[in-house]
Structures are given as structure tokens and as C-alpha cells.
Amino acid sequence: MPSGTANNLQDFGQWPVYGSVLVLYGYGLAEDESRARRFALTDAEGVGVATVLTAILQPAFGRRRPREHQGHAEFFSGGTSFPSGHATPAFAGAAGLSEFFDNAWYASVPVHAAATAVGFGRIGHDAHWLSDIAASAVFGAGTTELLLYMHRHHDEEPAAAGTYSRRRTGKAVGWVLPSAGSSLAAGSISSASARAVRDFRIAAPHHCSVSSSADVEDGR
């Protein structure tokens, strides 16, 4: 495959997928659509995790690239072919976009075709074997699907991360989730920015803050 064609395939796949994630989040901000924002943030999280996962798996499997002309079975020999560092996050992004539209064909087909184009572009550069791209699809989509499942599971069991109290040295200690409203000065930033801050707090690990009963009573 000519180098120019391979480059075009990579670009055709990467920018539509990642751009669509940004558009989805922007739509969620503009229309105050929390579901769109949650899916976009989880999708971005999936892309990031998939990128890190690839960086770990490539040296672990050590598969040689096609351009090195050592055969497709050369694993554990210092290579970085398996899986693809370009295709894995692309498939992660495609999975989240597809799930937002409940895997309807008009969304699922285009985004997965775009991610597949990234993979074929990498094959065109003799950078990966077809099996590398197939593995990238599994790892990438699986990463985002797992994150979506974990977030759904958390939402279905709010009591596990909700407010509770216990006694310690005679004092009641309340563990409460951070409140988005408590950290935003009224009128200091736009409502869209406020929603963005809240979304990132929700998407981040649910850390707890400690406050004594006296602090609660005093309004501190």
C-alpha cells in the first residue's frame, strides 16, 4: 500500500472518532444533557486507559513488526507490534460512541469503520499484522465497555458511595461525597463551565472528604 494512502486511512479514522467524542461532550454542555457528558467522559477515559494498556502489552508480548521481515510468529523478541498503539485507543473511542446511541447501526457502523481504517492504515505502513489489529479491537472496545459497566454498577448502588457516619473517639465523623455546588461561587463562571467541573468530579475516582459533626453544625 502506498504510504500516502496509509496515512489517509489513519487520519480518516482517528480524527472522526476523537472529534466525535469532543462534539458529544460539547453537545452535552450546550443542551445540559448529562448522559451525553457522562458517555463522552467515559469514552475519553477509555481512550486513555487503552493507550496505557497498549504501552504495557507491546513490550510484554514483544512481537516483531512486518517491516522487520522476521515472520508473524516472532513473539517475546523485543518487538512492539502487538497490539497497535494507534488502533487500540481508536476502537476504545468507537465503542463509547456506539454505546451512547445504543449500538444503533447508523452510529456503530461509521465509528467502527473509522477505527478499522486506522488499523488498515497501520498495516499499510508494514507496522502491524492483521492479528495485531484484531487484538486492538478487542482490547480497545473491551476497555471502554468495562468502564461503562463499572460506572453503571456504581450508579445502581449509590448507597455504597453515599453519606454515612461512624463513631471515632466519641465523635461522629461524616464521610460525604464532594459537592459540585459547594465549590462554585454563584455567578463567577458560566453554567456550562460549572457543569464541566461537576462532570470531571463525577468521572474521577469517588474520593471522600471527612468532616466532624461540629463542623457540619457550624456550617464549616
What are the pLDDT digits (tens) for 31-56?
A: 999 999 999 999 999 999 999 999 99
Residue 90 near residue 30, CB atoms below 8 Å:
no
Name every residue whose Cβ is closer than 8 Å to that of residue 79 and which is 6 or more positions away in sequence: 58, 61, 62, 63, 64, 65, 68
H/E segment holding residue 86: none
pLDDT, residue 151, reads: 87
- pLDDT of 154 reads 80
Task: Give me the mean pLDDT over the 204-215 stretch.
Answer: 43
Question: Which pLDDT score, from 0 to 100, does residue 105 have?
Answer: 95
Which helix (H) or strand (E) is 193 found in, with range? helix 191-203
Q: What is the pLDDT of residues 102-159, one digit of tens each?
A: 999 999 999 999 999 999 999 888 889 999 999 999 999 999 999 999 988 887 775 5
Asked if pLDDT for residue 205 goes beyond 60, the answer is no
Answering whether pTM is above 0.85, one says no
Domain-wise residue ranges, the chain: 3-156, 160-218
Q: For 5-20, what is the mean pLDDT?
A: 85
Q: In the predicted model, what is the mean pLDDT of residues 89-113? A: 96
Over the stretch 179-202, which tens digit does the pLDDT of each residue have? 444 444 444 445 555 555 556 555
| 1, three cell numbers | 500500500
Candidates 168, 185, 176; CA nearest to 209 is: 176
Task: Say which residue, 154 or 59, is predicted with more confidence.
Answer: 59
pLDDT(176) > 60: no
pLDDT band at 175 (very low <50, low <70, confident <90, very high): very low
Give the pLDDT confidence score for residue 6 in this predicted structure: 79
Considering only CA atoms, give the Rg of the chain.
22
